[in-house]
């Protein structure tokens, strides 16, 4: 009987080298996927919870993957993008009569603003410019049924009034833009309408900036004419890549901030006690659900406001440093009310898209782009300087656009508690 001998054991270094060689051999046999196929694959990401981080992360992989991502988004998601402006410088007369007529037509609050007494203009995506750097948006005319509503106090119909007001606003922006081209350091005139806008892409909505905002008027448009084409023949354009980076970047930051807000909220600290009260019947289940709903509503509003105010503060400071002394220009900031943004976010949440279901769940509050380490939040240190995270330090080239920093950090000190309003 031959003696039992042990097989030689490979050294760890040799073993690793062997695995590396096998890996390279396998990868060499696998041809890379063509760009067209990657575009199709990325285009299947239609869940609005994942779209922001897909845009922010995929474009950092490689130049080819960046190109595939941009092509997929321009084809798949820009078609579901709108820019909504509200005319806060003009008020409809005899609001009750107008509101009653709109409500009877089933359009209460949809064609006028938050009161409702301010006109609202919805600009739909039309396509890309020849160099594919700009997204073109055109005003969608008011529906025929509501548009023919007579406004005797204004001497026209609602459709004619909306067309005239939009033409006045776009003409003012165009004139001011031409003047700024000649004298870049000149602030916009006080008479120029402020940019009260909301951007919506699928179920994401916010009033982040419109980088490179431009108004293009067709020759022959004149402010004040009443005809079917006025106000619709012109269009606006923006640099769509940095626009999406800012919109999606703030959405991810809001998710991150919601998680931090919950970690420091009385709700989390008292959740065990509240759950015990529910189990014993001391707290009825319906009251528990009401309590949770009330907390969620207040928390969402508080976080949205905190993140937004920080972003506006940064953009205003950036604009002032660059000689743009008007914080309400259509290029940088928006003066739209917080309630309007909340309603816009709720509206797109319940919107219907043929290629997307609504998936409410815990993922909505992850915000992994900002805390990719997946660490647990303990104490107050995580809200001091979230920009220290390595994942955030890698800035994209879009951030080089003046006033287009999509990242909204936090300057909270250790004594600042995001739930202090409770």
| Choice among 164-178, 255-269, 371-385 with the minimum mean pLDDT | 371-385
pLDDT at 146: 67
- pLDDT averaged over every residue in the chain: 69
pLDDT at 47: 86
pLDDT at 320: 55
| Choice among 172-181, 212-221, 321-330, 400-409 with the minimum mean pLDDT | 400-409
Cα–Cα dist 246/251, whole Å? 9
* 190-220 residue pLDDT tens: 444 445 789 999 999 998 888 888 888 765 4
Is residue 43's pLDDT more than 70? yes
Highest mean pLDDT among 203-212, 223-232, 395-404: 203-212
| Choice among 18-32, 44-58, 98-112, 382-396 with the minimum mean pLDDT | 382-396
The model's confidence at residue 165, banded by pLDDT at 50, 70 and 90, is confident
More confident residue, 343 or 168: 343
Of all residues in the chain, the percent with pLDDT exceeding 90 is 17
The model's confidence at residue 52, banded by pLDDT at 50, 70 and 90, is very high
| Mean pLDDT value across residues 10-33 | 62
pLDDT at 333: 46
pLDDT at 134: 94
pLDDT at 89: 66
pLDDT at 40: 92
Is residue 266's pLDDT more than 80? no
The model's confidence at residue 17, banded by pLDDT at 50, 70 and 90, is low
Task: Tell whether pTM > 0.85.
Answer: no
* 85-135 residue pLDDT tens: 877 666 666 556 666 666 665 554 444 444 446 778 889 999 999 999 999
Task: State phi, psi for 158 to the nearest 5 degrees.
Answer: -65, -40
pLDDT at 259: 82
């Amino acid at each position: 009987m031959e003696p039992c001998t042990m097989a030689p054991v490979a050294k760890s270094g040799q073993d690793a080298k062997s695995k590396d060689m096998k890996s390279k051999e396998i990868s060499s046999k696998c041809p890379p996927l063509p760009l067209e196929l990657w575009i199709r694959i990325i285009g299947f990401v239609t869940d609005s919870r994942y779209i922001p981080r897909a845009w922010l992360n995929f474009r950092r992989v490689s130049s080819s993957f960046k190109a595939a991502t941009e092509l997929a988004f321009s084809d798949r998601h820009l078609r579901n993008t709108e820019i909504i402006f509200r005319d806060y410088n003009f008020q409809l007369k005899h609001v009750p009569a107008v509101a009653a007529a709109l409500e009877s037509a089933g359009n209460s609050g949809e064609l006028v603003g938050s009161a409702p007494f301010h006109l609202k203009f919805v600009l739909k995506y039309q396509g890309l410019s020849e160099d594919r750097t700009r997204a073109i948006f055109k005003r969608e005319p008011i529906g025929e049924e509501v548009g023919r509503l007579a406004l005797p106090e204004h001497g026209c119909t609602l459709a004619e009034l909306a067309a005239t007001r939009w033409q006045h606003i776009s003409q003012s922006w165009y004139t001011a833009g031409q003047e700024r081209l000649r004298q870049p350091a000149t602030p916009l005139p006080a008479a120029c309408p402020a940019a009260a806008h909301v951007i919506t892409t699928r179920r994401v909505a916010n009033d982040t900036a419109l980088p490179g905002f431009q108004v293009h008027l067709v020759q022959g448009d004149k402010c004040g004419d009443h005809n079917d084409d006025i106000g619709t023949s012109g269009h606006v354009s923006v640099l769509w890549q940095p626009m999406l980076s800012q919109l999606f970047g703030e959405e991810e930051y809001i998710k991150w901030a919601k998680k931090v807000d919950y970690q420091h909220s009385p709700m989390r600290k008292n959740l065990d006690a509240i759950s015990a009260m529910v189990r014993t019947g001391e707290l009825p289940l319906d009251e528990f659900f009401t309590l949770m709903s009330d907390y969620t509503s207040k928390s969402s509003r508080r976080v949205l406001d905190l993140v937004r105010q920080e972003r506006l503060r940064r953009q205003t400071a950036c604009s002032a440093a660059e000689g743009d002394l008007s914080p309400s220009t259509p290029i940088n900031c928006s003066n739209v009310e917080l309630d309007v943004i909340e309603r816009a976010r709720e509206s797109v949440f319940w919107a219907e898209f043929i290629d997307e279901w609504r998936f409410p769940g815990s993922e909505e509050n992850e915000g992994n782009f900002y805390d990719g380490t997946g660490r647990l939040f303990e104490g107050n240190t995580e809200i001091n300087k979230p920009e220290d995270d390595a994942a955030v330090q890698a800035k994209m080239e879009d951030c080089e656009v003046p006033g287009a920093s999509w990242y909204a950090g936090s300057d909270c000190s250790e004594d600042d508690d995001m739930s202090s309003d409770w």
